Amino acid sequence: MYQLKFNEKICASCRQADCLLKCQYMTFSGHKEAHGEMMKIMKGKDSRVLSECVTCYACEEYCTRGNHPFYLISERREEKGRFTAPRPITTQWINMTVMQGKYLVGDVKDKALSCCYIPELGPLGAGEIFKDVASAGVFGAEFMCPAVHTHFARMSVIKERLPIVIENYRKLGVKEVICLHDECYGTLTSIASA
């Protein structure tokens, strides 16, 4: 199983704690409280953040020190069974995004135009800026970003599926993926490297 790249030393010495201080969904009295909550999360202790975080991802941007607060919050939630949605909904999402070999691949050469698992995105890949890749569409669970599972605090599903998605692109010989779905872009540029 892949391990999240999270530098505990960087976090322990952080004088900003912007990850939580800038959060739009929780209020903290100042650095001491916000940093204290992050330290609790890091050490695997309970924190109100594990209940109150609405999974907006923004703290991944607020942390300017290269750590991954949101992915860590999501991992801790999963470890503690603090899920964000009722179990049937979480399970439904896991099941309906499972890879079943029902994917579509267009005339892909070195570039692919990803429609994720959202057919409505296909028509958006038209016009002048997409003229080189309009016929190189890929669609299906085999190419979708599993980032949606962060919203359900199921990072284990991402760790299992994302390497397969990347391998599927490799098998196509793709050197560049143009993502019509912003979460696909975030997955390939942020979650994959984390």
Minimum distance from CB of 126 to ligand SF4 (Å)?
34
Output the six-digit token pair for 62.
């607020």
Using CB under 6 A as the binding rule, whether residue 117 contacts ligand SF4 is answered as no
Output the six-digit token pair for 50.
């594990």
3-class SS letters over 21-80: HCCCCCCCCCHHHHHHHHHHHHCCCCCCHHHHCCCCCCHHHHCCCCCCHHHHHHHHHHHH
Residues 70-109 that bind ligand SF4 (CB under 6 A): 70, 73
Minimum distance from CB of 182 to ligand SF4 (Å)?
16
Output the six-digit token pair for 26.
């929780």
CB-based contacts of 135: which residues, under 8 Å, 6+ apart? Answer: 106, 107
Minimum distance from CB of 85 to ligand SF4 (Å)?
15
Using CB under 6 A as the binding rule, whether residue 152 contacts ligand SF4 is answered as no
Using CB under 6 A as the binding rule, whether residue 153 contacts ligand SF4 is answered as no
Distance CA 72, CA 91 (A): 21
Using CB under 6 A as the binding rule, whether residue 18 contacts ligand SF4 is answered as yes
Using CB under 6 A as the binding rule, whether residue 147 contacts ligand SF4 is answered as no
Using CB under 6 A as the binding rule, whether residue 145 contacts ligand SF4 is answered as no
Contacts with ligand SF4, residue ranges (CB under 6 A): 10-11, 14, 16-19, 23, 25-26, 35, 38, 49, 53-59, 63, 65, 67, 69-70, 73
